[in-house]
Every structure is written in structure tokens, then in C-alpha cells.
Structure 1
């Protein structure tokens, strides 16, 4: 049986500047470059972002390989630390302008529509050292100036813009769970950073609309449904609170223009509510997104907390109201440690349809990271990644069901087109449709890349 997708469906893949380009020809470091420089031991096999996938030099050949996979859209990002020479004056580096113009033109030449993201975990390190990074609202305004330069330079050819990729990861990785630099544990700072990231997104959207450009602008959010461990009242309540933090925080503010009242009350009760002004809240209210990108990899399963959230002398953390639950006999991607639960894509599609005015959206990342893919190379040198094909197909089945029931989903992007550098995980897990030997930079389609081409050509999957 064939499951067909809407006409003009976006079949694509996603990557980012810092994960693909390499650290070539940059005047400034971003926060990840700096982290690697001071603590290379934090990175798998001590591999940093210096070369990445060498997209900076190989982009013409790489884009041709993406086209061989059938892709009609690709999302990447501009590096703030590459484009801007002086962060206070927002002057641009001409060599970077020429590079990004060449990349955009090459995508268009190959009939691939480029989607451009402005911030993918890559804050310039100088702005962290000078101002404390996203904790400081001056950095918000500098980000708006950088975005304005991007719109001026590339807005004539880019129709789809995104402010942030996964702002919640910036908050959790940098300020709660220590898996991204600056590796702080500070609940109050985490809440303020979350607010400032939203304010930055809304201010950039306001700037974009003031410039009367013809395209659309949105945000990329990692939505992870928070399924309760049981139907007991305590587990259901834990699930609701987790959902407020994981999903509603940025989703409500970005698409409805206000933060969830229950979340505000919770943060006020804890004495950690962000500092805001009426003018800022008005900007957030009046500058909602045109388009939503959804990154989905795994669900969150939660249960009641081990201890009462009213325990004394406990520093604030959002997850004091719940704890993770591992479902017995869950299907797992054991290499990554993530549960495989494709039905969540359907649940997300219905949530957007029923609770967010059925706004236009697309899957902007979905994928399966697998270690040691050389295990699966056949005699012709091709990675036979049937597991990835199965993973994609299962998620597309549930996505198709949501679309058939009226959810306004416009496309599906896999993470990622070409095996790329993945922060402190470096190249431990591979996600691409195209393999990359990081020592020789030799790249070739995997079995999934050839399969994807057939899917795009038929605009359907066989089930």
C-alpha cells in the first residue's frame, strides 16, 4: 500500500553551520569552539569543530550529493561568529558574505530551497565573556542587529527564516544539566535565559516584518510529549508540569504570544520568575511566528518526583516536579539511549491542530544516530542502514495519519544530510543520508540516501 503526501511537500534534511562548515576563516570563536579549545577532553575521541564535514570547502560537491538523495529543501544556519566582524557595530566580514552568498546560490542552482536558521547553539564566546551571554538583554539586541544584517544580505533569496534551533537545549544544556558550555547549574539563570531567548526571537520577527520582506519567519522547537508513567493522579500531575516546561514554554509564547499562566504561577511561587517589562511582553504578544519547525527524536516519560517538591532548602530546578520514567520493554536506539516511539509524531500533529490554531508546521529534524556504521558497509562500500530506513518510514506513517486528519504539516526534514560533528558527541553517532570519512572527507550516499530519492520522486512511501 502507498501512503501519499501532499503536493509540494518539503522533503529535506537539516544541518547547521557550526556542525558542517568547520572552523575555517573565522575571526571569532563561538561558544562551542571555545569549549573545545579549553576542554578537548570533554569531546568524544577529542574531536572538535575544526574541520567538521568540511562544508566550507566542499559545499558545491556536498549540495550535489544532497540532490542525489532527492532533497528539495535543506535547512542550515549562518554562524553569527563568522558573519559579523564587530558585534557592537554589527559590521560584516565580506569573505563570510561571499561564502554564504555562494552557498545559497548553489542550493538554488540545484533546485533545493534553502531554509536558514540564525542561532544553533553557537553564541559568540566574546558575548559570553563580556556580558554573560543570553543572561544579558544587551546580547538580545545585538542578536537582532546580526539578524537584520542577514535579512539585508540574503533576504532577496531566502523565503524561510528561523530565529533559534531548540532554545530549550541552550537552557538545559548550559544552565541545568551541564552538557553544553558554560555547564552551569543555576535554575534562576536558566529561567531568565529562557525568557531572553524568547524575547530575542520575537524582536527578530518584529525586525523582519518591519523590513517588508516577502518570506516567512518562525522558530525550531524540540517538542517531546511528556507521557505519564501511569494514570495515578500524582503521575498525571507530574506529566502536566513537565509538559509546561518541555513544550508549552516556547510553543505558547512563539505561536500565541504569551507564556502559559500555570508556568508563570509555578515560577512565581518558586521565586524565580524572569525579569520582564510590559514593553517586552507586548513585543512577544504582537510578533508571533508564521511557521513552526518541530524537532522530534524521542518522547519524555515522567513520573511523580521521588521527594516532595516542597522539600526545604532545595535550589530550584524545573524537574523537581517530576522524574524520568523508563517504560519496561521500550523500543530503544541503544547506541544513543533514546526510546523509539513514532506515534508521538501523530500526537504532536494533533496537538498543533487542536491547540495552536492548526498553524503551518513541518518536521524540521527527526533521525537515528548509530555508532560504528562501518559494521554495515557492504562490498561496494555503501552503508546498508536499513535501521534508518525503518525508523524514517515508521515516523512518516504516523505523520501521514496526522496530515490525513487535517494537521497542517508541510514537510519532513531528516537530521542530517551528511554525517556531521555533534558537539561533545563529535562523531560518535552518525545520522546522515550520506556517509563521511572524517579523515579523508570522502562522502557517499548510504542505502537510506538512495531510498529517500525514491520516496521524493514518488511523494509517497510503501507500507
Structure 2
């Protein structure tokens, strides 16, 4: 078959530092917000909001606790096994590998006077290993973790103080890795600050009299910091590209009733306003109306609007896992779940074991809508299926369900390219099994590579390619032309 994907299309996979690295307390690293999230067994979990929240007392307890089960402290030991893992990615033929840098590995407290050289050297080694194997690093500067000391001192991004600290951190990265890293992202899934303030912005929301006000204010600080990082990169390395990153969950109207259509439109807009700010350079009118109706007043410095307007991103990256529906009368439909926020179930779609509705055509719709809206290059940097994998008696993992998921989504990306969408690349989420961002569990596996570890941290950490490993290798070798499962 002939491929519709460009010859220079960037095929690869994606991870986050706090979900794979481990080594949370060696080589000078400070604690991150991810390191204080305790594992909660499924039977003891409340809502996702409760699971992702944090109180001041819980934070202090977690900082002192050295014996509890905090899975992101151990990750999958990528810190010591990165050469083995990168060799496996190279065997699949990766052209790009998306990873993040742990802020407290570089600045242990966030506001230290000098960076931690041991942390910088670690990422030098990782980038050198990637480049040796012909892989471009795609680096997220802040992926769901900040130094925990910035929470204690400032309540995270609720404080404007973090703008200067973030830009200084970014400047150190841009200077150190100039020539090694060509693709940067500022914040992972920046819109999740509104749904999960501690996860997205290190904000303990229980302290705040107006949580919505605080969440939007924290998001504004992140927007300004992101724009200033864009400015800084262009001063330091004009050959590199820098983008923003959005959690994009498509929302359909539950019925064709006009009020359902309006409800879905407004819920989609709540995600897109973040990219409006970062791609177009200003807040759209509909979000200003939302602020007015919810008693939100954003404190801006006089220069903020010009900073946002003058420092637009080069490309738009996003995650896509699922779609849901919305209704003006939500009681009439069953609830769906997934990706940090719920919605109403779509009766036309099947769901994963975690209730995430599987909608490959939705990815094509999102690609077309976003390209039509912004007219800049797009990059799918997260997409994948979390599932419980079974190790067969012969040691193999026959994950045909994952192959089917990926094949149909890649197929729809090809259709979007035929439609005229400029798409730079695709990095599947959790290309090697890792710790879940939301539930901190290991049994929810995404990878092409199986890691022998359970939710309690028990296991050999042995890496084993799954059936999907060899399938994705074939997909990359054919540049997306061969999606057959044989």
C-alpha cells in the first residue's frame, strides 16, 4: 500500500519523567508534586477529583513518609535502565521520543540559586543516547510535576512568583541542550489545571475561598510563563521549535436538540480557549463571559497581554484518547469516564476496561477542527489504550486489542492528512508500561513493552516486547502504510 504520511513523519512514543524515572531521592533531586501522591487501591478510591486532590496536612504527611506506597517515586527505573529502553525504542524504529524533564531534578527546591549539575548531566546522557539511535527528543518542560517546595512556599502556580522561576528553569534547559533538542513543549495538557489544580499546577485548592478564581489565575500565570519561555527559546536557539499541549477530548451533542448542540459547543470551547491564548495570543470573548458569570477576575500585569500576543507557539500538540457527549439535560444519559473528566456515554461507541469510549473517527474530527481553527502544524503526542495485559504461559503478551485501537486511530490520521491537515508526528502514550498519572497504578498498561512490576512495586522490572511491539515496528517501517495485524 502507498502511504499518505510524509516521509519525514515523526513516529514514536511518549512518557513523562515522574511516571518512569524513579530515583526520586538520588543525585540531588528534590521531591516533586508527583512524589507525594500515594497509591490508593481501587476498592478505597472515591471520585477522581478526590483522588487527584491534595490538602496541606496530607502533603506534609507524604513529605515525611518514607515507607508508604508512592509509585511515582520508583517509576519503572528508567533512570538506571534508559539505555536498555532506548535500544528497544530504536528496534521499533522510533524517529522521535517524547519525554519530560523533572523540574526538581534540575532545581531541587524550584528557586535554588544554581541548577543541579547531576540532574543536567542525566538528561545529557539520555539525549545523547537518543541521538545516537537516530531519535529526536521531544521535550516537555513541565509534565504534571513541580518542586514540592514551590507548593509549600507559594501554593504552586496560584502565585505569580512561579513565572520568573519557570522561565529561569527553561532558560537553563534551552542553553544546556541547544543543538540536542529541536522540539519543545511548555506545559503538558495545560487545560487540566482547571479540572485538577494540584496535578496540573501544584495548587492546593482547599485553601482558596474561590476555587474557580484560583484555578483560572494559576492558568493565566502558566500562559504568561509559557509565552516568556517561547520568547527565551527564540533568543537562545532559533532553530528549535516550541509548542503548546492540550488535553483534547471531543464532545458531541447527545441529541440533535439545539440546546444539546450548544452545550457540547460550550464544553469544547472550554478546552480550546487555552490554545486560543497560546496560538492566537489573546483570551477569546466567550471565556471573558464565563469569568463574568462565575465571579472570576483575572489579575493581569500591564505587560501580560502584549507578552501573550507577541510570543505565539510554532505548533500545537495534543492528547486524544476518547470522546463523550453532552446534554442540556444530563440526567437522561449514562455517565462516561476518563482522562480527568467525565461526560455522557455515547451509545454508538464501545469502551475500554476503564470506561474510556473508543472513537477513532473522533481523532480525525479533532484534527480537522483544530487545523481549520489555527492553521498551524499539529502533533498528536498522546494516544493509546490502557488495558490489563495477560502474560501467556510462553511469556508472550498477545495484545491484539491494543493493535486494533492503534490501527484504527492511525488510519483516521491518514484520512485527516488526505483532508489537508498538516500533521508533524505521532507519539503513542506510554510506549513502555509506566505508572498511571491519575490513579498511580501499574496494572493499567499502555505500552508496546511489558514491564514486570505490580501496583505494590513488586517484580523483576524485566522488559518484554508485546505483540504490538512488532506490529508498530512494521507500521513505522512502512510509514503507516501497513496496518495489518498478521
TM-score higher than 0.5 here? yes
Whether contact under 8 Å (1:244, 1:260) holds in the other structure is: no
SS of the residue 2:325 aligns to = strand
For 1:390 and 1:281, locate their aligned partners in 2 and report how far apart those are by CA, in whole Å.
Answer: 45
Q: 1:347–1:131: structure 2 CA closer, same or farther, 3 Å change rule?
A: same
Residue 326 of structure 1: aligned partner: 345
Whether contact under 8 Å (2:193, 2:201) holds in the other structure is: no
Whether contact under 8 Å (2:109, 2:150) holds in the other structure is: no
Q: Does 1:233 align with 2:258?
A: yes
Q: Superposition pairs for residues 98-117 of structure 1, below 5 Å?
A: 98-117=121-140
For 2:483 and 2:146, locate their aligned partners in 1 and report how far apart those are by CA, in whole Å.
Answer: 42
For 1:286 and 1:142, locate their aligned partners in 2 and report how far apart those are by CA, in whole Å.
Answer: 21
Residue 190 of structure 1: aligned partner: 215
Whether contact under 8 Å (2:124, 2:177) holds in the other structure is: yes
For 2:354 and 2:205, locate their aligned partners in 1 and report how far apart those are by CA, in whole Å.
Answer: 21
CA offsets per residue over residues 343-385 of structure 1, 9 Å max, x none? 111111111221112x1111100000002x12xx334312111
Flag structure 2 segments of 5+ consecutive residues without an equivalent: 39-58, 332-340, 454-458
Q: Does 1:216 align with 2:236?
A: no
Q: Does 1:435 align with 2:459?
A: no
Flag structure 1 segments of 5+ consecutive residues without an equivalent: 308-321
Whether contact under 8 Å (1:69, 1:433) holds in the other structure is: no
Residue 423 of structure 2: aligned partner: 409
SS of the residue 2:379 aligns to = strand
Whether contact under 8 Å (1:433, 1:446) holds in the other structure is: yes
Displacement of 1:183: 6.1
Residue 19 of structure 1: aligned partner: 19
- Mean CA deviation greater in 98-107 or 17-26: 17-26
Q: Superposition pairs for residues 45-56 of structure 1, below 5 Å?
A: 46-56=69-79
Whether contact under 8 Å (2:244, 2:313) holds in the other structure is: yes
For 1:179 and 1:258, locate their aligned partners in 2 and report how far apart those are by CA, in whole Å.
Answer: 21
Residue 314 of structure 1: aligned partner: none
Whether contact under 8 Å (2:33, 2:202) holds in the other structure is: no
Whether contact under 8 Å (1:2, 1:462) holds in the other structure is: no
CA offsets per residue over residues 372-427 of structure 1, 9 Å max, x none? x12xx334312111001000011111110010111000111101221011233321
Residue 35 of structure 2: aligned partner: 33
- Mean CA deviation greater in 86-95 or 347-356: 86-95
- Mean CA deviation greater in 348-357 or 441-450: 348-357
Among 298, 310, 323, the residue aligned to 1:286: 310
SS of the residue 2:404 aligns to = helix
For 1:180 and 1:88, locate their aligned partners in 2 and report how far apart those are by CA, in whole Å.
Answer: 15
Q: 1:399–1:56: structure 2 CA closer, same or farther, 3 Å change rule?
A: same
Whether contact under 8 Å (1:173, 1:180) holds in the other structure is: no
What is the TM-score of this pair, normalised by structure 1?
0.89
- Mean CA deviation greater in 12-21 or 190-199: 190-199
What is the TM-score of this pair, normalised by structure 2?
0.85
Whether contact under 8 Å (2:350, 2:358) holds in the other structure is: yes
Residue 394 of structure 2: aligned partner: 380
Displacement of 1:195: 1.6
Whether contact under 8 Å (2:19, 2:434) holds in the other structure is: yes
Displacement of 1:431: 0.4
Q: Does 1:351 align with 2:376?
A: no
Q: 1:394–1:225: structure 2 CA closer, same or farther, 3 Å change rule?
A: same
Displacement of 1:329: 4.8
Q: 1:457–1:306: structure 2 CA closer, same or farther, 3 Å change rule?
A: closer
Runs of 4+ in 1 over 6 A off after TM superposition: 177-181
Displacement of 1:24: 4.3
Q: Say what the alpha-carbon RMSD is for the aligned residues.
A: 2.3
Q: Does 1:455 align with 2:475?
A: yes
Residue 420 of structure 1: aligned partner: 434
Displacement of 1:293: 1.1
